[in-house]
Amino acid sequence: MYLPEYYEFCCRVKMIAGHDALEKIPEALAQLHAGRPLIITDKGVSGAGLVDTVVDAIKDGVDIGAMADDVPQDSSLKVVNHLADVYRDNKCDSIIAVGGGSVMDTAKGVNIVVSENADDLMKFSGAGALKRALRPLIVIPTTSGTGSEVTLVAVVKDHERHLKMAFASYFLLPNVAILDSRMTLTLPPAITASTAMDAMAHAVEAYTGLAKNPMSDANAIAAISLISNNLLNVLKNPSDREGRLALANGATLAGAAFSNSMVGVVHALGHATGSMCGVPHGVCMSILLPYGLEYNMRKNAHFTGELLLPLAGAEVYVSTPKHLRAEGAIAYIRKMNQDIHNATDGRHARFLEEVKDRDGKRMVPREKLEAIAGAALDDGSIFYNPEECDYEDFLMIIRAAWEGAPLDRTLIKGV
């Protein structure tokens, strides 16, 4: 097992998981000396009836202070301040966030405002600005992908001042993450697949990146094995509660791994593709993941090779010669993408050219690839990538991922 010269690891979030984990919320709140939560969510989540499930599960045990389902796709300062007022007006003492990344970001922002009585949230952005525990925050993810239930960052946009405020502190970590199979049971197959592959990319990049460490590695290995073992079953049988719960656990484990060990070139390019062309993050991740691994092979083929064990199981791992395991792991992920493509009637794209929007229009035109490569240079994930990435490197990777041909590794600089 790999032990780096130095590492730090921390994941202070209490996990409550199961088929009736929601019912444990009142007790968890009581342990945090709270009992009047503000529930924060978005229209999509409440429209799907998930908030009703949460409310039904907890209403006998707690006194719900208020419920707000107006979090927009993009977190914004105005909404944060508005929800803080709702919190105060209803004398809430804690927050329950039900949803995905933007709901969690918003909830974390609200928590800073109500805990610190902040009139200007900006004062609390940046490292080390928060000095003490905030109000109790319980999060309930409704997709199995982002891992934001265990991350210590939040981004809130101030649309009036055109500012993007980033917050990072251990105090932003939720106190409790609730993983309940009911929350993801109705997720459509294509979204189930792309979010699961998002989690897969977190785990794989954490395991193969520069900041890997034994704790992150252990979390990543468990995540990869859960996702690899369960994703296709769940796509074929969406009401598989066990499989759903396994994917939710995989996403959280992957979140713990990457929030400590960070990610690399796959995320740098994926973020750029997402912001330039609006491609859903998970779709970018699943497409780019094998390319990123290929690109980094000169530096970390041995680590990539080790991933064949959790991906494919002990039999395949042992029967593959050691020097071919990295290629085996990459091929396995490509095959997963193909299998998902088949299982979702072709809705899961295998390469960037294939990504279509709702109207069937191609989302990533070839002429945007240069701009994507340029934008990737500004992404912080590249710090943690084992191999150097300049503009030409990014362009080479994104072109291959656009066409769907494996990377020609002889073209990588310095090989």
* Residue number, 63 or 383, with CB nearest to other proteins: 383
Q: Which stretch binds other proteins (CB under 8 A): 63-71, 94-102, 106-114, 375-383?
A: 375-383
* Residue number, 59 or 413, with CB nearest to other proteins: 413
- Using CB under 8 A, pick the residue from 60, 127, 321, 361 that binds other proteins: 127
* Residue number, 10 or 411, with CB nearest to other proteins: 10
**CA distances from residue 258 to 9, 25, 285 in whole angstroms, order as listed:** 10, 26, 14
Q: Does 4 bind other proteins (CB under 8 A)?
A: yes
Q: Does 9 bind other proteins (CB under 8 A)?
A: yes
Q: Does 214 bind other proteins (CB under 8 A)?
A: yes
Q: Which stretch binds other proteins (CB under 8 A): 62-70, 86-94, 95-103, 309-317?
A: 309-317
Nearest of 52, 59, 62 to residue 27 by alpha carbon: 62
Nearest 10 degrees: CA dihedral of 177, 181, 182, 188? Answer: 110
Place of tokens 């592959």: 197
- Using CB under 8 A, pick the residue from 219, 259, 273, 344 that binds other proteins: 219
Nearest of 29, 64, 51 to residue 182 by alpha carbon: 51
By the 8 A CB rule, do 250 and 223 touch? yes
- Rounded to a whole number of angstroms, the minimum distance from the CB of residue 261 to other proteins is 8
Helix 281-306 / helix 325-343 crossing angle, nearest 10 deg: 150
Rounded Cα distance between 244 and 45, Å, is 17
Name the H helices within 264-390.
265-277, 281-306, 308-312, 314-319, 325-343, 369-376
Give one DSSP letter per residue of 123-154, joined into a string. Answer: GG-EET---S--S-EEEEESSSS--GGG--EE
Q: Does 18 bind other proteins (CB under 8 A)?
A: yes
- Using CB under 8 A, pick the residue from 6, 117, 345, 367 that binds other proteins: 6
Which residues are at the interface with other proteins (CB under 8 A)? Answer: 1, 3-12, 14-21, 24, 31, 33, 126-128, 131-133, 170, 209-211, 213-215, 217-219, 221-222, 225-226, 229, 242, 245-246, 249, 253, 262, 299, 309, 314-315, 317-319, 377-380, 382-384, 386-388, 413-414
